[in-house]
Amino acid sequence: MTDLTNTILGFIESPNSGALMISGDWGCGKTYHIENVVFPKLKEKDYIPIRVSLFGITSIDDLPLLISEKYTDNIKTGETDITKKIIKKGKNGLSEISSVVPKIREYIDIEKLINKYNKYFYYRSVPANKVVIVLDDLERAVKTIDIYTLLGAINDLVEQRKYKIIVVSNNSYLHENEKDNLIFKEKVIEKTIVYNPDIVTLYKDLLNEGKYGDDYKSFMCNSDCISIINPNNSVYKSNLVKSSLSNIRILKFAIIHFYKVFECLWKNQNDKEDEDFSVFLKALWACTVGLSVEYKRNKLTSQNKNEYSEYSDSPLASFLLLDNIKKDDDGLVENFYEPEEDRLQKEEWISSSNIIRYMYTTYVENHNLPIIVSTELFDLITSGYYLNETSLLERWKKFKEERLSVKKNPAYSLLEIFLNSSIYTFPDDKIPSMLNELASHVEKGDFNDNVSYVNAATYLLHYQSLTSYSEDELKRLITNGIDKMYLRIADVTSIMKNSLNMIEYEIPEISKWVIKYEKGKMEEVSAQKKKSEIEDISQQFSKDIEALSKRITSSYGDSKTPDFIDTPILSYIPEETVIEKMKDISPREILALGNILNFRFEPSNTLVKINLELPFIHNIEKGISMRKKGKRFSDYVIEDYLNKIIEKIKEENQNLS
């Protein structure tokens, strides 16, 4: 029997002049525990426990009726018994009839019938000697009912009616409304106990109660999965995190949604013992927990999908902050992200990209799991119950290929030893050769991502005296390796940019120049890519506007992201190219051009840099003005269709012109 149950039993079986208050964090499972653990134990002792929620109550006069109804529901009076009680006579007749009020009120306006005697009438049906009344959601009732009126009603139940009353409230309300709390304690509450839930036990109960397969329950009860939801895990230092993980509603939300992810992957995976598969599932579970917390805290919505999808999902995207390593009392390396939790409390600092980073750091990286940016999971959490299974399976396939690539690539295998702090297990005489080997991999360009070169450079430069290279030689071989990598790169993605932006201000000074160098290389690649894209787009505008329209626009229901959605690509089409095309544009092409303008200049399309593309509109008008005189059908299409779109765009963007 739990301590809470023992406390409640002790309270019930002892003389008292007040109510017992149970407080705890919002959503921590107070009600769940009371109904599923405490109530069954009370019933074993022949008590009749009932829970009455004060949520939605607008008048204190409703309370007697609610208590009577709950009591009647609890004893499950059948129709035959009701009939007997209605016809029964004697001095206890009123008490017997009153127990059927909830049934009678379906047909008769019983409130008017008993008028001012309703309180007496209802309470006579609920025996005080064995009934335990739990008044839940106290803080919600105070919003609609005067606190002194509520106090009087509870006091009446305790002192006049002699009921055993338990009041349930949230810690946050008690802290925020200290005056109300003091009034309650002084006038009504005899004793207050704080409910500190055993979240791990509740977590297992939720899994057992749900209609989940044995494979799912077995996986979710793995020690690694449990450590992710355990608020007492030492990696969780923030009270905000502990409180969120103690919220049973959030926990249940995460379990329900991850079940769809697990089912999809499990049924399509032949080798269930595959280590990479297990890591993939655990990483997605950690991400599910983090997303669920931030979604329920209203810090992330479906509108944040772009920031989420652009987060770096490199399996080696973490790095060691050699300048900021601290040791705790046990000599272990502390979590160097912890200061960010303090910054997160400041609302003005919070942005969706920071929340996403914070979420991954707290719930994924803290458990030494790889970051997997699954837009399928994000959509499932923030947009509903649909899961794109095909895309999710592709995500797993990509992850598996990356893991195999890392395992086959000795450069990554060596760097991973440094990243995972396994380097500290090696003896002094082994480290120099390992550093020289790492330098060799760097110079040959064996790494395929920017962050790995930053990581490697950090170790090499920090431990330079242990290598066979001077500092200048190390810098030269680092730049040589980066140059070789960029010979293989034809396009710079937003993920590549973001991965550097995220670490730029936190890496040691000794290796910050590496990021600057890599950004310079990205600019070179981007400039070359931009040049070829402009040539491609310009040619497509001249030769096939319909294909261009399909490429850079989307319609309702499309799952693809249009090309150049956040790039003012239309502004790069040369003026002479636009003018020349408008001189001899066909009706079909005019419709396609109109579709492009409608999409790119839609006011709600915040990703497109509308002000930068306005010159394209002016070039179209200039081309129209230079068309040959004389009416053609295309002139009518321009006049009836295209010009109206242009006028609307100009009107909506007058301040941007």
Backbone angles phi, psi at 586, to 5 degrees: -85, 160
Residue 472 CA: distances (Å) to CA of 19, 322, 468, 478: 76, 20, 12, 10
pLDDT at 99 over 50: no
Q: Give pLDDT, residue 216.
A: 95
Rounded to an integer, the average pLDDT of 467-493 is 93
Q: Give pLDDT, residue 317.
A: 37
Q: Give pLDDT, residue 105.
A: 52
Rounded to an integer, the average pLDDT of 621-641 is 92
Q: Give pLDDT, residue 119.
A: 54
> 37 or 233, which is more confident?
233
Q: Give pLDDT, residue 130.
A: 82
Q: Give pLDDT, residue 574.
A: 93
pLDDT, tens digit (0-9, with 9 covering 90-100), for 170-222: 765 555 555 655 666 666 777 777 777 788 988 998 898 878 999 999 999 99
Q: Give pLDDT, residue 381.
A: 93
Task: Kindly tell me the burial class for residue 140, based on how many C-beta atoms sit within 10 Å of its own C-beta (0-12, 13-18, 19 or more).
Answer: middle
Q: Give pLDDT, residue 313.
A: 45
10 membership: H or E segment, kind and range: helix 3-12
pLDDT, tens digit (0-9, with 9 covering 90-100), for 524-546: 998 888 888 889 999 999 999 99
pLDDT-derived band at 315, boundaries 50, 70, 90 = very low
Residue 424 CA: distances (Å) to CA of 77, 315, 336, 411: 71, 21, 18, 18
DSSP string, 210-266: S---HHHHHHHTSHHHHHHH-TTSTT---HHHHHHHT-HHHHHHHHHHHHHHHHHHH
Task: Kindly tell me the burial class for residue 66, based on how many C-beta atoms sit within 10 Å of its own C-beta (0-12, 13-18, 19 or more).
Answer: middle
Q: Give pLDDT, residue 92.
A: 41
Give the least confident one: 241-245, 286-290, 516-520: 241-245
pLDDT, tens digit (0-9, with 9 covering 90-100), for 340-361: 444 444 443 445 667 888 888 8
pLDDT, tens digit (0-9, with 9 covering 90-100), for 358-417: 888 889 988 888 889 999 999 999 987 689 999 999 999 989 988 887 777 899 889 988
DSSP class of residue 52? E
Give the least confident one: 13-17, 215-219, 380-384, 482-486: 13-17
What mean pLDDT value characterizes the chain? 80
Measured torsion, CA atoms of residues 366, 372, 376, 378, in degrees rounded to the nearest 10:
30
pLDDT at 64 over 90: no
Question: Can you read off the two tokens belonging to residue 537?
Answer: 């787009």
> 249 or 312, which is more confident?
249
- Which one of 109-118, 163-172, 305-314, 630-639 scores highest in mean pLDDT? 630-639
Q: Give pLDDT, residue 172.
A: 58
192 membership: H or E segment, kind and range: strand 189-194
> 69 or 637, which is more confident?
637
Q: Give pLDDT, residue 179.
A: 60
Rounded to an integer, the average pLDDT of 550-570 is 80
Three-point CA angle 47, 48, 53, nearest 5°: 135
- Which one of 252-256, 326-330, 351-355 scores highest in mean pLDDT? 252-256
DSSP string, 300-317: --GGGHHHHHTS---TT-
Q: What percent of the chain has pLDDT over 70?
A: 80
Residue 234 CA: distances (Å) to CA of 250, 380, 617: 20, 29, 59
What residues have CB less than 8 Å from 623, skipping those under 6 apart?
A: 578, 579, 580, 581, 582, 583
CB 483 within 8 A of CB 445: yes
pLDDT at 485 over 70: yes
Q: In whole angstroms, what is the distance from residue 654 CA to residue 648 CA? A: 10
pLDDT, tens digit (0-9, with 9 covering 90-100), for 297-310: 888 888 888 888 87
608 membership: H or E segment, kind and range: none
pLDDT at 85 over 60: no
Q: Give pLDDT, residue 491.
A: 85
Tell me the chain's radius of gyration from C-alpha atoms: 34
Q: Give pLDDT, residue 610.
A: 76
> 495 or 401, which is more confident?
401
